[in-house]
Structure formats: structure tokens, C-alpha cells
Structure 1
Amino acid sequence: MAKPTDEWFGQAFGKAWKDKAEEIGRFNLAIFGKTGVGKSTLVNAIFGAEIAQTGIGEPVTRAEHLYLHQSGTLGVLDTRGLEVGKDNDALLSELRDYLHGMRRKPLADQIHVAWYCVRAGDRRFEATEADFVRALADLGLPVILVLTQVQRGAGGRVHPDAEALAASIAALDLPIQDGLIHYTMALADDFTGQTAYGLQEVLDATFRGAPDGVAHAITAAQRIDFDRKRERAEVAVKAATTAATAAGASPIPFSDAAILVPLQIGMMASIAVTYGISVERSTAASIAATAAATTAGRSVVTNMIKFVPGAGTAVAAPISATVAGTFTYAMGQAWIRVCERLARGELGLVGGALDGDTVHRIFMEEFKTSASRRKISS
């Protein structure tokens, strides 16, 4: 049975998570290419989302064949019922109207980047496809051109047919992002020994093409670049640590957590959203983590105070500032570790629920290590 404090914390964390998700916004990707070229597989490989599956999504306003699928910080716009190359005029007419209607909307509602996918095994890129790519660029969309299902031989060389196809496309001098054509294999194939590759390059190109204002949303949505996630999470930890240190140095006693708790909840929520952890899973994990933090926090405070005999108000203020900053920093680092393990699928379930004991242990280990780095023994 959940304790009242757990219930309160869960509600506070859930609200903070939703607020942070709204603040981060959404990255909207338009994806085009002929039927069967592997568009959904590519999206799912990079973003770890199943929203690109057929049958999921809602038609956009006044558009019969454009569908916008939304999940968290990712939106995917694709087509249904029309074929690129055969129905260009109808598709572009709907897309033009849609983009025009979005221009006055918030950035999170606009389409930011387009991927155009070509299956390498088709060995052809038709003139109508080239026209479609040019039209996308004319509409103001950065276009990333991706060759899908490109096999590689020994030494990592791509199949000669794929090289020839890429060369023929490059000769058209299309208005594509960075002038690059990206070779990809979205899924590994154990039977043939093919490994997945090229996904990071497509993601990097997407970051370069997208507006800066949606970079955090891309970071949160993608599932392959954990360095970017950690870098974003560290920003949240630094901001919260700075604010906590300032709060600890104020006349308010450290035992009064009215200022620190909202800072720490906000930090944890921001990190959870950045790692793409759902509100349900991150709330459950955060309750287990904060139970560990409470135990560790008492030790931090005790060890700090006992080395200052007779500490009065003048001494207690800087002590409180140091303790508050160190506690928040260690809490943030420990939570990053938990979220990364969750995002990588490394924390299993017990009886269908998140293993709280494992979360507690991982959090405590990292908390102690991080607190020690801040020169306080826990």
C-alpha cells in the first residue's frame, strides 16, 4: 500500500513531468518515399516508437491523405492512400495547404524536417521522385535523403549497386541537407550477418536541419544517442544545483524543504522526459529513488555538521548551502543513471511492476559516489 508521502510525491512528480514535456515541446518529422521502402522501420529504429505503424494516427485538418502520429516529444507526418511519384500533385497540394496553415502556429505544431527514403534494392530513383524532393525543399522543409536496406560487405563497403544509385542521385544536385545521401540498415539481420548502421548519421543530419528550438525535443524522442541525452540532463542538474546552493545559503533553515523539493522534483522530471521515460514509469522509479535519497540525505547532513563543532548561524549558512548543492547534485547524477538504465531497457519488471529495490540500490550507489566527488562523505 502506498504511503501518503508517496501519493503526494507521485502527484507532484506527475505534474512536473507533464509541465516539462510541454516546455520541451514536440519535434515533428515528415517522412516520404514509396510504399515498402522501410520508412516505419527507420523511424522506429531511431526513435524507438511504434507510432509509425500502419493504422495509427489521425488525419490532419482538411487533409485526406496526410496523417500525423504523435507520441510524447515526437510527431510523424506521413501519407496514406497516395503514392509518391504517382500522386505528387495531390500530395503536394495537401502538404502545401497544411504547412501554410501551420505557419502561425507555435513551433511545436509545425513540421521541422522531412526524410525522403529510397530502397537501395530498387536500384532506381525516378524523375518524379526528384521532382517531389525539389518541391519539398521549395516548401521550406530541410530534406534528408536516405537510402534504406543498404547491404555492406566485408570491410564495411556498401553494395556497389547502392553506390551506383547514390551517384546517380548525387548527379541531380538536389536541394538536400548538407548535400549528403545517407546509407542505412535500420535492423540487424542475424541470418545474413548484416549489422544496423547509418542511424546516427541520419540523426545528426536531422539535428542540423531542424530549428534550434526543437533540439531538446529531438534529444528526448530519439533512442540511439545517449551522449546527447546525458548532456541535456547535466544541464538540468547544473541549474538545479546552482539554485539549491543559493537557497541553502539563505536564512531559511535547510530542514525547511519548501524551496528545495520543488527544485529537485523539477530536475528529476526534466531528466525523465529527456530520457524518454513515460510519466507512469518515471513516477514509480522516482518514488523508489527519493526514498533512497532521504536516507542518504540524512547521512550527508550529519557528516557535514559534525565536523564543525558549535556551528552557529554564520557558519551554518554556508554549510547549508554546501549540503543543499551537494545533495541536489548527487541526487541528479543518481537519477540520470536510473533513467539511462530504464531507457536502455536494463531494468526489468517484478510481477509486472518496476523493480523498486533495484532502482533503490542503483540510486544509492551513484548518490554516494557523486556525493564523494563533491568532497562530502556520505
Structure 2
Amino acid sequence: MTQWFTESFRAEYAKQEAELGRVNIAVFGKTGVGKSTLVNAIFGEPVAATGIGAPVTNGSHLYLDKRGSLGVIDTRGLELGRDDDQIIKELTKAVKESRGKPIEEQIHVAWYCVRGMDRRFEDFEERFVRTLAALGLPVVLVLTQVPMREGQYHPDAVELARQLSARDLPIVDGHPFMTYAMRDQFTGQPPYGLVEVLGATFRVAPEAVQAALVAAQEVDLQLKASQSNKAVAAAVTAAAAAAAVPIPFSSAAMLVPIQLSMMARIAQLHGLGLDKSALLAIASTSVATSAGRAAAAGLLKFVPGAGSVVGGVINASVASSLTLAMGQAWLVVCQRAFNKTLPVLDGKLDTAAVTRLFESEMAKRMPKIRHRDKDA
């Protein structure tokens, strides 16, 4: 049974990975403004510093570095302020060519980075930002390395932001985003502004790649939870539809693919690898099995006083309620895995503790299901 579950989960995981796709962010700015630091801080790994990726088009100095559901487009060998015309030419070609490709091959959002303490924004930079916008790319303007004290931004950065606003640039939300990407070990300056940059990017990214962005980022757990709850809601709706005509035990296994798909999606959104996700899924639940009776009984054993249901059929109310409880409990497991707070035993994941966590989270939600069943 474990082998069947693992194989089924792997299949759903691969399916969800393909559906997730990839979000591609083009990152521009002068050399030394902290582009790589910003990208790495938001996406949690040295994306922008590992290799140069592949050219976006033949002979291009624009390179796409792919990491799972994230693609970062950067320039190599060219520098803003010196090679503007060349970069604009190549970018224009890349954007136009990408529009005929699948959505995951297109450029979705541009970040333009300016060091907040530079005190100046040059005319060629304005031209570049306006060119990005004219190509149909939403532009998030980011002021990097801006010191903050007692909630107040450095006056030099505030003045630069004022100058930028006066230029009436075609940028997301009409203003630059102040950031400090990494904690300064010498001054103790903490990072800030990353969630705001991510939120602006999420709002303007095409809906088809928003989930990919959520999966790739590592700074906003609430955004992951929000998208995960959408996956749970979709599974609940599908489960209710499947059980619109009450399901006998012999047909209850039809709910299992719905629940596995939900679990795989939530694992993807939390950036959990296949092996870890499968291990967690096996440890968390034995309810998804190939045998309809085992699947139904495994779910319904958590429901106080549900003997009458066990003795007959699964109706739409029970199917949707159980799927909801299962999804919410699985979300807690994935959040704990993302935060690295799951119990460990002898250096390995304590699967027994994970099982107890999942069952405990499901049990918290069972009274709601019992109440609905009584009212039916």
C-alpha cells in the first residue's frame, strides 16, 4: 500500500509541478547596486550568483537562469550607462519573440534597482525604465541598501524617492520600494521591504504564473498559505461534486486523486522537494489508499459519531468536509516543514511525530464535520 501511495503521490507531484510553470523576472540596474543580493534574499538561495544560465536569444547578452519555478533574467558582459542601446535592442527582441511562446517562456515582470544612497537617478536610467514599460513589462522600482533607524528611512534615500516621484515614471504603484535585503552584521541593520517588493510583483504578474512566484519566494508565508487555501477550496469543491450522488464504499477511492492533487499542490507552493513531500505525505496520512473501503474508513475514523455514515455511504457534505479538514491539516505540516520546525529524531525526520501532528490537526476540525452531518 505504501508503494502505491508513493507512486500515486509522485505522479500528482509531477503533474502539479508542470501546471505550476515558471515566473520570469528581469532584473536591471547599475553594477554594484545589489541586484543579486535582493534576488537571493527574496528567493532564499543564491539564484543570481550561480552560473550564467542560457542566452534568452541567439547571440544575446541577456541570460535566463532557471531554478524550479523561478527564472531570473540578467545581463552579462554589458553595463547600463555604457551599453544601454545594446541592452534595449536585445531586450526588445527578446520580449517580442517571447510573446509567441508558452507563458512560462515569457518575461513577466521587470525589477529596476537603484542604490538608495547614490542620491541620483540619471537620465539614461529614466529612458531605460520607460522603455521597459513601453514593452509592456510592469516595472517595480527598488531602492536598495537604504538604512533605516527607528522606522525612519535615511534622508538621502527619501530625497531620491522624491526626485523619482517627480519624474512621473511608469512604475508599479507610482513609487519606488525602499529595501534592505540582508542583515548588516556590523551595524545590526535588519532586512526590510522584501515582502512589499514581492507583493507588488505578485499583483502585476500574470495570473497564470502567480502560483509559480509564490512557490519560489521564501519571505511571505502568508502568501503561501493564501494560495494553499485556494488549492484546498478547489479540492473541497471537486470532492463535493464527486459525491453529489452518495458514494458507496466501493467507489470512495475516486476521492483519493483529488486529495493527492491537493496535497501535491500545497507541497509545491511551499517549495518542498519530491522526496521530502512524499515522506511527509506517507507519515501524515494513511487515508489515501487504493481500496475504497480503506480510504473511507481511514477518513471517517476521525469523525466522532459517524457510524451511520460508515455503515452506508459518503455524501457530498461528508466528502467536502473531510477533504477540507485533510487539506488544512496538511497545510500545517507543510508550513512546519517550510519553517524547519518538524520534529527530528537521530538526525532524521520523526515520522511518528509528523503522523501525530497531522491527526491532531485533523481532530481539531472534526467537530465541525460532525455538526454538519447531524444537520443534514
Normalising by structure 2, we get a TM-score of: 0.89
* Change in CA separation of 1:86 and 1:354 when aligned onto 2, cut-off 3 Å: farther
Supply the distance in 2 between the matched residues of 1:105 and 1:307 (Cα, whole angstroms).
50
* Change in CA separation of 1:41 and 1:358 when aligned onto 2, cut-off 3 Å: farther
Partner residue, 2:224: 229
Partner residue, 1:327: 322
Deviation at 1:254, TM superposition (A): 2.6
SS in 2 for 1:260: helix
* Change in CA separation of 1:26 and 1:13 when aligned onto 2, cut-off 3 Å: same
Partner residue, 2:361: 366
Partner residue, 1:239: 234
Give the aligned residue type for 2:64.
Answer: L
Partner residue, 2:281: 286
Partner residue, 2:40: 44
Partner residue, 1:178: 173
* Change in CA separation of 1:210 and 1:360 when aligned onto 2, cut-off 3 Å: same
Give the paired residue count.
Answer: 365
Equivalent position to 1:7, from 3, 27, 31 = 3
SS in 2 for 1:32: strand
Deviation at 1:150, TM superposition (A): 0.4
| Cα deviation code 1:269-323 (max 9, x no counterpart) | 1111122222222112111112377786252368301589xx6xxxx34x54444
Deviation at 1:56, TM superposition (A): 4.7
Deviation at 1:7, TM superposition (A): 2.3
Deviation at 1:113, TM superposition (A): 0.6
Deviation at 1:49, TM superposition (A): 3.3
Supply the distance in 2 between the matched residues of 1:149 and 1:371 (Cα, whole angstroms).
49
C-alpha contact 2:306 2:370 (8 A) present in aligned 1: no
Deviation at 1:375, TM superposition (A): 2.6
| Cα deviation code 1:9-29 (max 9, x no counterpart) | 222112211211221222110
SS in 2 for 1:29: strand
1:247-262 matches, within 5 Å, as 247-250=242-245, 252-262=247-257
Supply the distance in 2 between the matched residues of 1:374 and 1:36 (Cα, whole angstroms).
57
* Change in CA separation of 1:255 and 1:74 when aligned onto 2, cut-off 3 Å: same
SS in 2 for 1:303: coil
Partner residue, 2:86: 90
Supply the distance in 1 between the matched residues of 2:118 and 2:43 (Cα, whole angstroms).
25
Partner residue, 1:356: 351
Partner residue, 1:300: 302
* Change in CA separation of 1:358 and 1:122 when aligned onto 2, cut-off 3 Å: farther
Deviation at 1:349, TM superposition (A): 5.0
Partner residue, 2:204: 209
Deviation at 1:77, TM superposition (A): 0.7
SS in 2 for 1:111: coil
Deviation at 1:71, TM superposition (A): 1.9
Deviation at 1:356, TM superposition (A): 1.8
Deviation at 1:369, TM superposition (A): 0.7
Choose 60-69 or 362-371, whichever is displaced more: 60-69
SS in 2 for 1:263: helix
C-alpha contact 2:147 2:189 (8 A) present in aligned 1: yes
Partner residue, 2:156: 161
Supply the distance in 2 between the matched residues of 1:93 and 1:350 (Cα, whole angstroms).
56
* Change in CA separation of 1:360 and 1:37 when aligned onto 2, cut-off 3 Å: same
Give the aligned residue type for 1:303.
Answer: G
* Change in CA separation of 1:216 and 1:247 when aligned onto 2, cut-off 3 Å: same
* Change in CA separation of 1:192 and 1:342 when aligned onto 2, cut-off 3 Å: same
Equivalent position to 2:118, from 98, 116, 122 = 122
SS in 2 for 1:375: helix
Partner residue, 1:151: 147
| Cα deviation code 1:154-209 (max 9, x no counterpart) | 2x111111112222222222221221111101122353231211112211211232
| Cα deviation code 1:108-157 (max 9, x no counterpart) | 21101100011123333222222221221222211111000100122x11
* Change in CA separation of 1:176 and 1:247 when aligned onto 2, cut-off 3 Å: closer
Supply the distance in 2 between the matched residues of 1:298 and 1:176 (Cα, whole angstroms).
53
* Change in CA separation of 1:88 and 1:339 when aligned onto 2, cut-off 3 Å: same
Partner residue, 2:291: none
The reply on whether 1:268 has 2:270 as its aligned counterpart is no
C-alpha contact 1:63 1:94 (8 A) present in aligned 2: no
The reply on whether 1:103 has 2:99 as its aligned counterpart is yes
Partner residue, 2:292: none
* Change in CA separation of 1:32 and 1:348 when aligned onto 2, cut-off 3 Å: farther
1:47-86 matches, within 5 Å, as 47-86=43-82
Aligned alpha-carbon RMSD (Å) = 2.5
SS in 1 for 2:153: coil
Identity of aligned residues (%): 50
Give the aligned residue type for 1:127.
Answer: D
Equivalent position to 1:112, from 108, 114, 132 = 108
Normalising by structure 1, we get a TM-score of: 0.88
Q: Which runs of 5+ in 2 are unaligned?
A: 289-294
